[in-house]
Structures are given as C-alpha cells and as structure tokens.
Structure 1
Amino acid sequence: MPELTDEAVTDEAPGGGDTTDRAATDDGCPRTDDGCPRTGGDGRAGTWMTPRAYAASRATLWTGAVVLVTDSDGRVLIQSVDYRPDRLLPGGAVDAGEAPSAAAAREVREELGIDGRFPRGLAVDWIPSDAPGIPPEMGFPGEVLYVYDGGTWPAERIDSVRLPAQEITAIHFAEPATLPALMDPGDARRTLSALRARIGGAGAALLEDGRPTAPTALDRLGVLRTPRPRQHWDWCPGPVPAHLPVRDRAGWLFAPDGRVLVLIARATGAARLPSPTAGTVTGSAPLGYRYDGRGAHLRAAARLTGLAPAADPAYARLLATPEQVRELSDWGPAGERELAAVHSARIRLSLPAAARTPPAELPEEGIRW
C-alpha cells in the first residue's frame, strides 16, 4: 500500500521546519533506510498518494451473500423468482455498511421467513465483470460473493418456510447433479464448489468464477456432477436370512485413524463402498444389510492393514469419514441407522472417531499401516 498524505499538507511544517524525513547525504537527496534516493512526484520522499488518488486507484466491486441449505437427503434448496427463468440460492446484495453474514441472515428472513444466523463461510467467489448473461447497461463492475452454510434443515423447518408476496415464487430441493440444468452456469459451479467444501470440512474455498483456486480431491474428481444412485432401502442389522438372495457385498474398511475407504469413479464422480476384500483386513465381521424388496445388499466392517497397488484405473481410492461417505451418497432415512451401526463396529475395532478433514486420495502404488 502506498504511503498516504493529506492533500492540504505542504512540505513546510507550521514552525517552518521541513516535514520530509531526510537522511544525511552528500547530495542532499532524501534516502531510504538502505541509502537509495527516493522521491515522489511532488518531491516528497516515499511513494506518496493523496487519499483521493488512492481511493480512485482501487477497484470497485459489488458484494453479495447467499446461503446453501440442504435437506436430510443432501438435496440443495433453490428458489424460483419472478424476474428470471433460472433458479437461485437464497440471498442477495449486501447493503452499504452491512456485514456479509448479516446480509445472509436478512435475505433468508426476507425471502423464506426463517430467522437464523449463518456465521460459517463455505466459499468466497470472485465474479468477473465480463461474466455472461449480465446486460451491458447494468455497468456490472464484478462482484465478490460470500456463500454461507445454512446447514441441513429438518422437515419441520422446511414446512415453516413462508414466501413473500413478491419475488420468490417457490422453493425446490434439487439433486446436486441437476443444478447446472436449473441455474446459471456460474451459480451452479459456485454451489457445487461450496457443497464440496462443506463435505470436505477444510474451511471456506476461494473461487474465481465458481472454480476453486486450490482444488481438493473432491473437486478434481468432480464428485456430485452426476446423480447419486438412489438407495432408499431399509437397513436391517444382523445376518441375512437364508431365503434372501445376496445381491452385492460392500465393506466399511477402516484405516487406523477411523476414516474408511471409498471409491470414486473417475468417469462420473460417483462414490461407492469397496468390496470387503478390497484390501488386507483384520477383524472382519458382518454389519447388517440393506433390503431393496428383492434381495440383500450385505455390509461388513473390518480394519484395513494395507492396500495393494491399484488394479482398476477407473476408480480413485480415498479415505473419508463415514459421515462424508453418507453425504456423497443418497441412502435416505435408513442411512442414519447404517451409520450408527458403522460407529458401533468402529468402537468394537478399538478405532478413534475420525475428524472431518478433506478426503485424501491414496497412492496408486498402495499403502500399508
């Protein structure tokens, strides 16, 4: 930042002394601490600018704030509005002198009739002045837009939404993969980036036109860009009854820190649990099964001691918390019961509860613990 000086100040102090701090030199020129001469355009030492000139040199940007809300199935709340065809997150412009988080709370109250505070940021996006779809006559200078975490709303809170007489015509809960078809492209990119940041748990993502400047594994693999398979099946503890066919087997395979192995399809970004035999394991035990009306989807839990080199290049192997695996999947209400069984198995295996950190891709050459 340049050194500022009042426009009314002259080189002469009221007592007649020179206000410029000059080092003793042979040529009488002001010098920096390292002895090099420096002068501004008006003869003052330093890089001087008046407050007016400095203010004129700064970029002008709009500021906005939106709130990302999901339901218990991981679908995103978006709004239909009466002034444009695509859908939006709740939110809007930050008023003069207003904090962005206060603007987020005000907009949710005005648009949905819901009181709340949303202090946790998910993303800060820089939107360029030449973003498509903005009328030239608007003189759009660019915008910094804050995305706040509205959390997961239960059914009773969703039922309490009250829309205003104008502007917001309806709300919808959309599968993340459908957002590009429902929203402006930049809004959809921003929303998916913010949702991945929420799942990752590493703090707010810095975005430029909706794209992370430091992509995580979830960003690089494009998770949630295709619809999550809907698996709203009943969860049944215990062994599979003899009369039920077993349709598939999957494992909750724990690393020593309490995270579990999850596979991400590189072509689609879809997440799934691995086979119970995907690595070297100890303490394997049946966990229960999901019943889809025709057969059983068996689940087992075990402790991972190692992974061989990757045999299938179509999948990336990540470590994630059990909660993150559920958030990358669409398991319905029974997902909570399965998650409870997973943590009971973790305790039996004497493993810690994993802290939420960004899912980490494992090396292709494998790993041993």
Structure 2
Amino acid sequence: MNRIEYSAEIAELLGLVRRRPSAGWPWLPGDAVPAGLPVKQSWGWLFAPDGRVLTLVNPRDGVVSLPGGSLEPEDAGDPGAALAREADEEAQALIGRPYYLGYLYDRVGSANGGHECARVRMAAALQQVGESRPDPASGRHYRRLLVAPGLAVELLGWGAPGLRQARAAVAAAVRHLGVPAAADETIEELPRAGCTLWPAG
C-alpha cells in the first residue's frame, strides 16, 4: 500500500478538518428523481485525469465539501447547470459535461422549507480552475484540494453511504471520462493562480 503524500502546509490544513455528522438521507443510485419531487440541490464529483476529485476546505471552520449547492432561477431547473455555476462560484472551476449519478432523498426537506426534496449527485471532468477568489454567495475562500475519492469520503465524514456514492462516481468517470479506477493518492492543493487539468481538444 502506497503512503499518502502531502506537504506540511496541507498537513496543517487537514488538522483543521471538521467532519459534518451524516444526515442519513437515503442514496438512490441511478434512479431518476420522481415526478413531483423537487430537486433543490446539485453537487458534483469533479475528476482530474488521474482519478482524483476536487474537495473544498473552508480554512475558517474546517468544513469540507464537494462543489455544488442550491438550484437558482437562472439554472432553469437543470441540476447540471446548477453544478457548473456553483463550481465556478465556489472553486473557480470549469467543468465538462455532467453525468447524472442518482440522488439523496431528503425526507425532512431542510433545503426545501420543511418539504421533501431531492439532492442530486453528478460526476464531471474538472477541466481547469481559475485564480482563487471568495465565493460571491457566502464570502468563503475555499482551499482547493485534489484527493482520491475514498479519502474525500473520509474528509467529508459520509461513511459507508458516501463510499457507495463515491464508487458510483468513479464507475461513471471511468466509463465516460477514461480516468483510472485507482486514483493517485497524493493530496495536492491546486495553485491559487489556477491551472488547466485536462488538455485542450
């Protein structure tokens, strides 16, 4: 088993990580969202060519997240459009075509005023990131880490359901994007100035 490699600065950042307790929403892989169940959020597993995914760390409170968030009127009900917009706002990321993975059923409706809703999960290529800047919606200035999908689950604190979700994301990325099934396990912070991950063309 290879040792996970990362810098002293990343080690310090990982020491701040605070995992959120699992909400217990059922994960429904591959199922279409039923008619009448509103989609309120869309989050993405965004893959680099080596199979690692983008995770965001808020250095002020240590909370780790995947890029994504709530659908807004300009998204016209399209979870893929919402993911692309949120990835740009939160991580200054340009993504490729999103592939639908499934959804989490939020029976409590904490994202929908107390009414049940769906939280969609998608996979896409992380094509490039721009110069780091604060999220215009929250003012949060996220640190952008590339990590293996299994480690992302650990940092997110999602447990076994999260691991099942990560496996669905990896399977889709292998099939549609050609990434390796076993990701590079190096933890890397993307440069503040931005970079291109997938070659043009």
TM-score by length of 2: 0.71
Aligned with residue 52 of structure 2, among 248, 259, 277: 259
The answer to whether the 8 A contact 1:318-1:360 is kept is yes
After TM superposition, the runs of 4+ consecutive aligned structure 1 residues lying more than 4 A away are: none
Query: What secondary structure, in the 3-state scheme, does the structure 1 residue paired with 2:8 have?
Result: coil
Greater Cα radius of gyration, structure 1 or 2: 1
Aligned twin of 1:317: 144
1:149-298 alignment, distance < 5 Å: 201-202=4-5, 215-220=8-13, 222-224=15-17, 226-238=18-30, 239-275=32-68, 276-277=83-84, 278=87, 279-293=93-107, 294-298=116-120
Counterpart Cα distance in 1 of 2:190 and 2:5: 18
Query: What's the % identity of the aligned pairs?
Result: 40
Give the deviation of 1:248 after TM superposition: 1.5
* Cα distance in 2 between the residues matched to 1:303 and 1:332: 24
Change (3 A) 1:351 1:227: closer
Q: Deviations over 1:323-360 (max 9, x none)?
A: 01100122243223212201111211111131222x21
- The one-letter code matched in structure 1 to 2:183 is A
The answer to whether the aligner puts 1:345 opposite 2:172 as a matched pair is: yes
Deviation at 1:231, TM superposition (A): 2.9
AA of the residue aligned to 1:283: R
Instruction: Kindly indicate whether structure 1 or structure 2 has the higher relative contact order, using CA contacts under 8 Å at least 6 residues apart.
Output: 2
Counting only pairs closer than 5 Å after superposition, residues 1-369 of structure 1 correspond to structure 2 as 201-202=4-5, 215-220=8-13, 222-224=15-17, 226-238=18-30, 239-275=32-68, 276-277=83-84, 278=87, 279-293=93-107, 294-312=116-134, 314-348=141-175, 349-352=177-180, 353-357=182-186, 359-369=187-197
Consecutive unaligned residues in structure 1, runs of 5 or more = 1-119, 121-199, 204-213
Distance in 1 of aligned mates of 2:57 and 2:150: 16
**CA-to-aligned-CA distance 1:192-218 (integer Å, 9 cap, x gap):** xxxxxxxx8239xxxxxxxxxx72414
Q: Say if 1:323 and 1:221 are closer, same or farther in 2 by CA, change over 3 A.
A: closer
- Deviation at residue 221 of structure 1 after TM alignment: 5.0
SS in 2 for 1:241: coil
Q: CA 1:340–1:221 in structure 2 vs 1: closer, same or farther (change >3 Å)?
A: closer
Alignment check: 8 A CA contact 1:289 1:296 kept: yes
Q: 1:260 to 1:227 in 2, by over 3 A?
A: closer
Aligned residues: 160
Kindly indicate whether the alpha-carbon contact (under 8 Å) linking 1:232 and 1:331 is maintained by their aligned counterparts in 2: no
RMSD: 2.4
Q: Is the 8 A contact 2:100 2:123 kept in 1?
A: yes
More helix by share: 2
Q: TM-score, normalised by structure 1?
A: 0.40
Q: Is the 8 A contact 1:284 1:302 kept in 2?
A: yes
Q: Deviation of residue 227 (structure 1)?
A: 4.4
Shift of 1:320: 0.6
